Amino acid sequence: MNNYFRQYKKIYLSIAISWLLTGCEKNPFDYRTKYLGDYTYYVHETGGNGLVGLIDTSYTTNGSIAKGPGKGSIYFQLSEAAEKVELAVDKDGNLTGKYNGYFESSNTLNVVYSMYAPGGHFSQAVSGVKKR
């Protein structure tokens, strides 16, 4: 009778261990987290058309980067008043969407937006540094 209980004890113990090992949800690190936060952006805009003439200006603004709704997306916001723009970001920090560019590190990014239309064009180059 004692061997009978030992045998079942081993079976129940192995079932409990396998249940614990397979039942735990693994939470992988979200690579987007290192890019999130408030940024100071340095913006250079160029462009022109027949109505407005030429544009060539630079300015500094404060904005942010937040998690986007998708698994590999972020929200890029150039200023507090600007719309949030959803961009795809890969594990290497490359950005694609309305703006294209890359994260140099977890604290700096470079993106470019260009628009060409009949009679004119507009380009915006942005360098960002995360605030501490």
Please give the chain's pLDDT, 132 residues, in tens. 566 566 666 666 667 666 555 555 555 678 999 999 999 999 999 998 877 789 899 999 999 999 999 889 999 999 999 999 999 999 999 999 999 999 999 999 999 999 888 888 999 999 999 998
Q: CA–CA separation, 112 vs 124, rounded Å?
A: 6
pTM of the model: 0.74
Q: What is the pLDDT of residue 49?
A: 81
Q: CA–CA separation, 51 vs 72, rounded Å?
A: 40
Dihedral sign for Cα 35, 93, 115, 124, please. positive
Q: What is the pLDDT of residue 18?
A: 65
Q: CA–CA separation, 65 vs 78, rounded Å?
A: 9
Does the domain at 31-130 match CATH 3.40.50.2000? Answer given as no
Q: What is the pLDDT of residue 77?
A: 96
Q: What is the pLDDT of residue 52?
A: 74
